[in-house]
A and B are shown apart, each in its own frame.
Chain A
Amino acid sequence: MPATIDTTEGTCALDLLKAPVTVLVGHFGSGKTEIAVNLAVALKHRGENVTLADLDLVKPYFRSRLARHELASLGIPVMVPEGDRVYADLPILVPQVKGLVATAGNGVGRAVLDVGGDDLGARVLGAIAGLTDPAHTDVLFVVNGRRPFAETLEEVVTMLREVEAASRLRVTGLVANTHLMDETTPEVVGEGLALAQRLAGLTGIPLLFCAVLEKLSGSPDIRAVVGELPVLPLVRRITPPFAVKARLPVPQKGAAVV
């Protein structure tokens, strides 16, 4: 199932990520993990050598490490705490992540860093050297305006600044990800886009793309709302056990373009 292929015309979301390192930050529950996993898969589809680092030191369940075996089967290594500590809710920064960030782009491919929510989760980034150069690192702030404490412009701009202060990084791009899972409507996406656009206007940080569940991303109603903005179609991969699980597609080298 080539779910992460965007078949529509226009600029592709991935083309906007020029730097070898992509960091996902934002409110708790804004969708960083699913976007990180989907980005990693999409980059792999393009034939890129990509490694995902699970730096979520905040939430105990539904972390990107849950997909580590499936991702590994696609040739995407996932950096996680070793041994039984992978199951713990301890603030463990895997030391290899520092090496990954330092060497990314130097012929060793790309890195996607999935970071925990809020300023609390972003704090770990301050311990990693080499993230401050925008040519080396894209820092993406994910916005879901249907999440608690992320509903108003004031709330999202405050969190953005707190994340920047805690991580000692500047956010370089915004990702609109307002949704209600299976109950997402064009109105919900539209509201969220408006919020992200106002955040972009206030901060001067560009809104790069809009993430939309893959099964909705082709809908003309959704497309009408999103307009020219690139769309990143998302397949939910970190799901509860009752979900009918999305199987990861096996990438064929050079076959898929996002």
Chain B
Amino acid sequence: MAKKLMKGCEAIGEAAINAGCRLFFGYPITPQNEIPEYLSARLPQVGGTFLQAESEVAASNMLYGAAGAGCRVFTSSSSPGISLMMEAMSYLAGAELPVVVVNIMRGGPGLGGILPSQSDYFQATKGGGHGDYRVLVLAPSTVQEAVDLTQDAFDLADEYRNPVMVVGDGLIGQMMEPVEFKRTISPEDLPPKPWATTGCAGRKPNIINSLLLNPEHLEAHNWHLHRKYQEMVKEIRWEDWLLDEPVDVLIVAYGTVARICKTAIDVLRARGIKVGLFRPITLYPFPEPQLSAAVDKAKKVLVTELSTGQMLEDVRAVVAGRKPVSFFGRVGGMVMTPEEIEHEVDKLVVQG
């Protein structure tokens, strides 16, 4: 298929269709409105259903129903809307239902603003809803990667019978880049889901539920889920950039921020400063051994995010005091410039 010029949001919508998803339930919120807008036009063309729910709470519980019936289904929202979906996220994880949820993050807390942010890292990777659960979290840094990861997200959700989140700062959703759709699958060709509630004529009924009153059963269920989350480490993805040789400063950043860092690193390298980048692509599971190996090659570590320091905590846990870790964040919709990153690296180099 010829390349198209697409906004991140549109590309995510088309990626879902290429992944065999024909159901979208959601509610508008900036800066992700182009996902529902796009799908409201596209899904009817491919025999799918676009439904604007009365709220994010409703949309996320519609996901529960559709996923329980064995359908590929997804929703998207932005930070405050995602907060409203967190009860359902916990239920979906508890009932082991595969769904894809896209969060195009904006500045918070509260209603915040409509400009880009990465301040929902904790919410995405540490739970967000109640109970001992995790969701697999993917963080693209280009529109093409948003396409590829969204398609993968549907496969991963089915494989682990668990919600998968794709998180992008607002820029990922709003910027335009050329993209291609490398693979496509129709709903009929998807693997069967023998656990789904599709009508029980001729077989034992399947039950989808997250209520387990017997504590022994609930404990066993929790340990079962825990083992599943541990298995997800084989899905870890990351990018090493200019880390073949030892570096003076290792920058750790994800999403669009990683690209801002690359622009800065080009300039720094041209000035002879040894600096490289580690980019987590899965935020959960966090690429701990891979980051640890990168840290071994560095004198100092600089974490930079569109938050006041959330991924920073995971990086510090990996570094475990071996190297100095410093932090540079912009929040509220303000985005760091390549020049600011250069300046932060310069400060670390001058300190020696």
Contacts and interface: CB of A to CB of B under 8 A. Distances in A.
Q: Do A and B interact?
A: yes
Interface of A: 29, 59-62, 87-89, 144, 146-149, 151, 179-183, 240-244
Interface string B1-26: 01111110010001000000000000
A61 B117 CA distance: 13
Given A61-B174, A241-B336, A183 B3 contact: yes
A87 B115 contact: yes
B251 to A, nearest CB: 13
Contact of A59 (B116, B174, B177, B259): B174
Interface in B167-217: 170-171, 174-178
A241 B177 CA distance: 14
A241 B114 contact: no
5 contacts: A87-B114, A181-B178, A240-B259, A241-B335, A241-B337
The binding surface of chain B is classed by DSSP as mixed
A147 B4 CA distance: 6
B280 to A, nearest CB: 17
Interface in B1-56: 2-7, 10, 14, 30-31, 33, 38, 41-42
Contact of A62 (B4, B38, B175, B337): B175
A88 B114 contact: yes
A29 B171 contact: no
Interface string B90-122: 000000000000000000000001111000000
A149 B37 CA distance: 12
A62 B30 CA distance: 13
Given A87-B114, A241-B260, A241-B338, A61 B5 contact: no
Q: Which of B2, B170, B262 has the most CB of A within 10 A?
A: B2
Given A29-B5, A29-B7, A244-B263, A183 B114 contact: no
Interface of B: 2-7, 10, 14, 30-31, 33, 38, 41-42, 113-116, 170-171, 174-178, 256, 259-260, 262-263, 333, 335-338
A146 B5 contact: yes
A60 B114 contact: yes
Contacts of A61: 31, 115-116, 170-171, 174-175
Contacts of A243: 263
B115 A240 contact: no
A162 to B, nearest CB: 13
Contacts of A60: 30-31, 33, 114, 174
A149 B263 contact: no
B261 to A, nearest CB: 8
B3 A240 contact: no
Given A87-B115, A147-B4, A242-B256, A181 B335 contact: no
B3 A146 contact: yes
Nearest to A149: B41
A35 to B, nearest CB: 14
A29 B4 CA distance: 12
Nearest to A240: B175
A181 B178 CA distance: 7
Contacts of A183: 3, 178
A247 to B, nearest CB: 13
List the 9 closest pairs (A to B, CB-CB), nearest first: A242-B259, A61-B174, A180-B178, A242-B260, A183-B178, A146-B5, A241-B335, A89-B30, A60-B30
